[in-house]
């Protein structure tokens, strides 16, 4: 008997959100190794290499999709352009990143919207939280365009690339 485990796939107008594959390690590493990308995330270290990307892929492949979700964001022409993920809980929390060559094209907003549709349909959740570092207003714009609202709370969060655990983070909420 053969067991095939399939990760959820979300399609948007220009993108496909899918589980990462081993062959994605090099493009993920190339994009996430940019200090300007890694420094705006909580958990991507800098420097970030192929071994780090392989570890990320292995963790995602072992993931319990009832508790968390993580996709690479793939463009039909450019290939992998970033990633988006969620941790379940009372209020699922969303995180994402897009490689710098693909900034300012609407891919982040499109990927976040796709992930939120999946959360509502598959997890049947109607509240998602997210945050963006205070020095990254572009990420706040992405979240606003995807329907998030500011809560007024500022939390101190970790940034592995900055080697800090006190980066001011503006919190937001999405209500379906």
CATH number for the domain spanning 112: value is: 3.40.630.30
Give the model confidence (pLDDT) of 24-61 as tens digits: 999 999 999 999 999 999 999 999 999 999 999 999 99
Give the pLDDT of residue 61: 94
Q: Is residue 101 part of a domain?
A: yes
pLDDT at 5 over 90: no
| 88-107 average pLDDT score | 95
- Look at residue 25 and tell me if it is in a domain: yes
Identify the pLDDT of residue 145: 98
- What rounded mean pLDDT belongs to the chain? 95
Strand partners, 72: 18, 83
Range of the domain at 104: 10-125
Answer yes or no: is 153 within a domain: no
Whether residue 60 is contained in a domain is answered as yes
Q: Which of 68, 81, 77, 133 is nearest to 107 (CA)?
A: 81
123-161 confidence digits (pLDDT tens): 999 999 999 999 999 999 999 999 999 999 999 999 999
In a domain, 164, yes or no: no
Residue 161 lies in a domain: no
Q: What domain count does the chain have?
A: 1
**How much is the pLDDT for 162?**
98
Domain contains 146: no
pTM: 0.94
User: Is residue 175 in some structural domain?
Assistant: no
Asked if the model's pLDDT at residue 1 lies above 90, the reply is: no
Angle at 99 between CA 28 and CA 92, to 5 degrees: 80
């Amino acid at each position: 008997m053969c067991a095939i485990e399939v990760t959820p796939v979300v399609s948007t107008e220009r993108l496909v959100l899918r589980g990462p594959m081993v062959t994605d390690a090099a493009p993920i590493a190339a994009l996430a190794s940019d200090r300007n990308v890694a420094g705006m995330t909580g958990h991507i270290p800098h420097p970030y290499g192929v071994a780090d990307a392989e570890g990320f892929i292995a963790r995602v492949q072992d993931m319990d999709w009832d508790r968390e979700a993580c996709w690479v964001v793939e463009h039909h022409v450019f290939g992998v352009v970033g990633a988006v993920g969620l941790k379940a809980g009372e209020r699922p929390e969303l995180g994402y990143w897009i490689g710098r060559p693909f900034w300012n094209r609407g891919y982040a907003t499109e990927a976040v919207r796709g992930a939120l549709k999946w959360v509502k349909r598959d997890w049947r959740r109607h509240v998602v939280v997210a945050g963006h570092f205070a020095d990254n207003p572009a990420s706040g714009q992405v979240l606003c365009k995807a329907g998030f609202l500011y809560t007024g709370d500022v939390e101190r969060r970790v940034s592995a690339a900055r080697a800090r655990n006190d980066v001011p983070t503006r919190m937001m909420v999405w209500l379906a």
